[in-house]
Structure formats: C-alpha cells, structure tokens
Amino acid sequence: MEDALTEAPPPSRFFNEDLDNFIKPSPPLPSPFLLFSDPNSNLLSPSLLIIAISSPSLHLLHQISSKTLIGSLILPEVPFSGNSIEPSPKDKSCNIYSINGDDGRSILLVLTQFSISPERSHTVAKLLIDGNKIHPEKVLILDSIESRNFRGKLPPDEILGFKLETMEEKLTSEAMVKGLDYFPSGSVIDGISAALLARCQIKKIRATLCVTWPQNGYSVISYLKSVVLKDVLPKLTLSSVLLDSDLVRDSRYESELYT
C-alpha cells in the first residue's frame, strides 16, 4: 500500500494563468492629467505643437531661452522626488512651454522627460492632442529610432533621420519638414510616438513624426537643429538656441525607468 504522507502530490489541475484568477487585482492607477499655471486659462489653439521625446530633441528645445512654462502633464505613478525647483533636463517631468510664432500665434513645446508605458500612451495622446484643452493646427513629434524596430543594420557612426506623416500633411503643398526621407517600409514605430501620430490621423491634423539615429550625442542635436527645426521654428527662436556639451549625456536612459 502506498504511503499517502510521502507520496508526491498530484499535479495541479490549474494552469499558472488560472491561478491568477484567485489573486485580488491591483487597484487601477489614477488617470494622467494636465496641470496649468493658470487654472482659468482658455482653450489653447497653438499654430504648432512640438512634442520632444528623444534625448537630443529634449536637450535642444530646453535651451530655447524665450519659452514660458505654462503647465505640466502629470503621471501619478512618476514621483517628483529628485526634481529640481527650476525646470531641468535631468528632471522626471513633462512640462509644457509657450513661445511666440512668426504669425503672432503661440507655439507649444512639450518636453517629455519620463518614460510613458504603452498602456498609458493612448490616454496621454488624447490629453495632449485635441482633447479638452489643446487643439493644435499642426503637430511635430521628435523621437529616436529603436534599433530593435528597424529593418536593417544601423551604422554606429552615421547620423540618420526619417519621417512619417499623417494623410493631411502628405496632401499639403507645403510640407512641414522637407529635409528627411520617409521611414523605411518594414520598420516599426511604437509606444507614445505611434499613439501621438495615430491621434493626429484620427483627428485629421497635419502632423509629422521625425525619428533620428543614434539615440544620443552632440552630433544628433546639431543635426536636428540644421535639418528639422530650421523648417518649423522661427529664425529668432533658433538663434537663441545654445548647444551645451554638458547636456549630451542621456540621463533619461540611465534611470531605473529604462532598465
């Protein structure tokens, strides 16, 4: 007769994923929201909305001296601890700035200095583009190329830049960005950049997504200034941009959010 105390227990009738059904689900995260310095500010209708995601674009736009801080995008799961009192490229933040355009209308800059998870991307895109507060005429998104999503081998010592556009931008006679080829077929854009461009397409907004390689470096900052921003920012604003070699290191990718 077999010993019931020493006999190996029978295998579980449940799969591992079935066992999760007995665990109490985690409470949902609070929704992201926009916080403006003037809570009574009216609807914002900028002639151009520039959203910087890549490290080179963040460092470049942060050096525009004529910008005015008007608000922030708040992700409740991102702590404020360690942030400086004055806005800094090393902060984990997403600040919104305003500058004056040549046509007298405002241009908004969004500096996205923390990671946005894929689950949050579409919610954030709805907040920033044609939501309850910001209704832009045109949108420019600046990000970097992920090597894992690129079809082909990326050269380590060569600067590359590509663009994707909404249908409304493709049909216009005056392209927003003229100096870049289209992103190669078979390569993939995902995350917050894809969500922002998709939001613009749904809302029929003229929009361009520009991606550069490598993901960091002084040469990429110079490339963005000469090839991309010269077409979309006023000359007076470009002349106020100072490239600081101390800002070339990518502090965002060294944080725990990117491990």
Whether residue 18 is contained in a domain is answered as no
The residue whose two tokens read 């005429």 is 137
What's phi and psi for 81, nearest 5 deg? -60, 135
Residue 117 located in a structural domain = yes
Nearest-10 Cα torsion for 148, 149, 151, 152: -30
**9 in any annotated domain:** no
Number of domains in the chain: 1
Query: Is the CB of residue 87 less than 8 Å from the CB of residue 70?
Result: no
For the CA atoms of the chain, what is the radius of gyration? 22
Asked whether residue 58 is assigned to any structural domain, the reply reads yes
**Cα–Cα distance for residue pair 75/80, rounded to 1 Å:** 10
Domain CATH for 145: 3.40.50.10900
Q: Domain residues for 85?
A: 29-232
In a domain, 133, yes or no: yes
Residue 71 lies in a domain: yes
Kindly list the averaged pLDDT for each block of 10 residues, start to end, along the chain of length 259: 58 61 73 89 90 95 90 93 86 93 81 95 96 93 90 86 96 90 90 97 97 92 87 68 52 38
The DSSP code for 64 is -
Please check whether residue 19 lies inside any domain of the structure: no
Does pTM surpass 0.85?
no
pLDDT of residue 116: 96
* Peptide bond between residue 214 and the one before it cis (omega within 30 degrees of 0): yes
Residue 12 inside a domain? The answer is: no
Cα angle for residues 48, 95, 150 (degrees, 5° grid): 70
